[in-house]
Structure formats: C-alpha cells, structure tokens
Amino acid sequence: MSSIHAPHLYRVVLIDDDILLHKLLEMYLFEHHYQLQSLSCGEEIRDFISQQTPDLILLDIMLPGKDGLHWLNWLKHNYPNIPVMLLSAKKSAEERLIGLEFGADDYLTKPFHPKELLIRIRKIMRHPTLANKHVTYQIGSNLFNPAHEHLERNNQLIKLTTQESSLLQFFCQRPDEILTRDCISQALNGNEHQPLNRSIDMTINRLRKKLGDHASNPRYLCTVWRKGYRLTLAP
C-alpha cells in the first residue's frame, strides 16, 4: 500500500494489482492535484474505508481472490454514496453492461490513456451530489441539502444555484481546510484559476449572504489572507 499526498482535492483510491499502473497514475494524478491511495486487492478496502472515506474508487475487475464485481457489490451495499469506476481489460459491450448493472458509475477499458481517466474523474467530481445523494450539512443555523440545492434556516428555504451548491459542498467535504482558488477551480471547472477571473470570489460573496454571514467579519466562509478560503461549520 502506498500513497502520495496532494492538499485539499479529491481523494481517489485505486484497487488494482498492477504495480506499474499504480506508479503511473500516482504521478500523473499528483501532477493534476489529486491524491491517490493505492490498494493491491479488494480485501484491503475494508480496513481502509473504515478509517477514511474516499471521494472516488477506481476498481479493477480482475483482482486476486474475489473479483472486482464482488467488491463493487459490497461497496454499493455498504457505502452506496461513494462513486466507483470499474477498470477492465474486457472490452465487450456485455462486460461493460454487467459492470454498470452492478452499480458502477463508469467503466473504462484497459489500456487507457491517463488523460481519459482524468477527464472521466473530473466528470464524476463535477456532479457532487452523485457521491452524497442523501447527505446534509449543518452550517451554524443553516441546514444544507446538496441534492436539492438549498439551505434551510428558521424554517425558510433559501435556493442555491448549481454553482453555489457545488462550491458549498466542496467546502463542506473539507471543513476547516484552507482551499486555494486554484484548488477550487480545478475541482469545479477542471482548470487552474485565472487571476482576472473573479467568479469564485463572487460566488463566495453570494454564499455568504445566503448563509446569513457578515461580509466584513464572516463566521462561516472566511478569507485566509493570500491563501484562499476556509469553511467553519460551527463557529
């Protein structure tokens, strides 16, 4: 088991016994600001997932011992909110359909170009409610429901735009972490932040108003000078 750490962004787990693939993806995803945790067999996911929750699992079908479809079934039964992408050398439409019927969120055949994998990961991560369909977050007196894209405060519903909801959920998944503008832009848009683009700052300002935050002295979405932003759930 090995890992290489990148701050703030999505935590991806690769379950595959191909050591060369681990090394290739570890470096490639690290260069694109993703943290990759490598496991060599399905059995290792039991202990790992009991200690920390990944944002996405890359699961090879042809594993030693119990195959990937067994572990996909186990994951979807026990952790249905974690998206799983199957990896397989089997290219037939039938095999792909079987994987999707088992509940896989995507299916990628080997060999594949790392850039295609990155594109597919970003596609899944741009739909944050996929990984947390039934999760709600308490932010002070606000109850945030990502699936329905709204806040509830004092029995009043406050509608959020899709961009606002995506950004707020990204913060909620990493409370008390300092998130840079590059980090946020990579996660939501798939590219680095452009210095003249103020869309992230404008979205945060709108979120502050909807959270009932104070613009000059925010309690929840705080600016960390020259670093980025940090969300505090219970100030």
pLDDT, tens digit (0-9, with 9 covering 90-100), for 196-227: 567 888 999 999 999 999 878 899 999 998 88
pLDDT (0 to 100) of residue 84? 92
Closest Cα partner for 177 from 14, 31, 2, 6? Answer: 6
Q: How many domains does the chain have?
A: 2
Cα 80 to Cα 37, 58, 76, 134, 183, distances in angstroms:
20, 15, 4, 10, 26
Mean pLDDT of 28-48: 86
pLDDT band for position 13 (50/70/90)?
very high
The answer on 192 and 82 residing in a single domain is no
Place of tokens 């219970």: 234
Which helix (H) or strand (E) is 39 found in, with range?
strand 35-39
Mean pLDDT of 100-107: 86
The answer on 169 and 199 residing in a single domain is yes
Count of other CB atoms within 10 angstroms of residue 207? 25
List alpha helices for 19-141, DSSP H: 19-31, 44-51, 68-78, 93-101, 114-125, 128-131
Which helix (H) or strand (E) is 18 found in, with range?
none
Q: What percent of the chain has pLDDT over 90?
A: 26
The answer on 20 and 6 residing in a single domain is yes
The answer on 120 and 85 residing in a single domain is yes
The answer on 118 and 40 residing in a single domain is yes
The answer on 120 and 146 residing in a single domain is no
The answer on 213 and 135 residing in a single domain is yes
pLDDT band for position 190 (50/70/90)?
low
* Cβ-contact 99, 69 below 8 angstroms: yes
pLDDT (0 to 100) of residue 39? 93
Cis geometry, peptide bond prior to residue 64 (ω within 30 degrees of 0): no
pLDDT (0 to 100) of residue 231? 92
Separation of alpha carbons 187 and 166, rounded Å: 10
What is the domain-level CATH number for residue 41?
3.40.50.2300
The answer on 205 and 115 residing in a single domain is no
List alpha helices for 82-235, DSSP H: 93-101, 114-125, 128-131, 162-172, 181-189, 199-210
Q: What phi, psi does 169 have (nearest 5°)? A: -65, -35
What is the domain-level CATH number for residue 146?
1.10.10.10
Domain final residue pick, 93, 110, 125: 125
Domain final residue pick, 125, 159, 186: 125
The answer on 193 and 138 residing in a single domain is yes
The answer on 156 and 82 residing in a single domain is no
The answer on 155 and 119 residing in a single domain is no
Phi-psi category of residue 156: left, alpha or beta, with phi > 0 → left and psi -120 to 50 → alpha? beta
The answer on 110 and 168 residing in a single domain is no
pLDDT per residue over 131-162, tens digit each?
444 578 899 999 998 877 889 998 889 999 88
CA torsion, ordered 134, 137, 141, 143, to nearest 10 deg: -20
Give me the domain span that covers residue 164.
131-231
Domain final residue pick, 125, 146, 177: 125
pLDDT per residue over 84-103, tens digit each?
999 988 777 777 788 788 88
